[in-house]
Amino acid sequence: MHSEPHTTSMQAPTLTRDAKIISQRPDLLLLEQWISAGSSVLDLGCGNGVLLNHLQTHKQVSGYGLEINPLKITACLARGVSVIEQDLNDGLNNFGTDQFDTVIMSQTLQAVTDPVALLSEMLRVGITGIVSFPNFGYWRVRYQLAAFGTMPVSDSLPYEWYDTPNIHLCTVRDFERLCARQGYSVLDKWVVNDSYVSLSKHRLFPNLFGKIALYHITAR
């Protein structure tokens, strides 16, 4: 049953840990707040394994990453991260219901063929899910479309319309409407700038001023 999203009033945490890791995954300090120590995690589109490696080291999690890029798979293995070569568009049928405490899909939702199906699958195999995506409702995106009549290009949307992997762009409001329609509860959320800092304007007008959105959700 859908519940109203809770938006925390605290500021994004100060970056006090390994600067190299944070530079590779600036969202890490936000995501890890939703991961319990000793829990099981599945990372969809895990890239080079930086997030899972950090969670294994600092929160003693267990789990796997799914990745399709051979070079990134090699990087995962070099970090000691267990990784499975798998296309997310093929689903998650090789995993059981409630097999993981948390399933993470970071900056991947907009690039998959069927986002609704993958969200359903991630919340089947995981008790909770973490999803992040670029907010297409951000005011600079709206301005570029209105003023220049061209598809926006930015740090969070760095591709031209003809070579972008982002085929299902959405806004903060779109995503929350989808959660309500599917019956997912929003446990918490961060709406931030490109430095992953949440200011008062992001909390007051997330769909207009938020550049990137991060959601903690469940179907339970």
Sequence-distant (6+) residues with CB within 8 A of 205 are none
Average pLDDT, the chain: 89
pLDDT computed for residue 135 by the predictor? 95
104 pLDDT above the threshold of 60: yes
Q: What is the mean pLDDT of residues 63-72?
A: 96
State percent of the chain over pLDDT 90: 69
For residue 47, give the nearest of 18, 76, 90 by alpha carbon. 76
The yes-or-no verdict on residue 130 having pLDDT over 70 is yes
> Is residue 17 predicted with pLDDT exceeding 80?
no
DSSP string, 97-133: TT-EEEEEEES-GGGSS-HHHHHHHHHHHEEEEEEEE
Structural domains for the chain: 19-136+169-218 (3.40.50.150)
Tokens at 207, concatenated: 């769909």
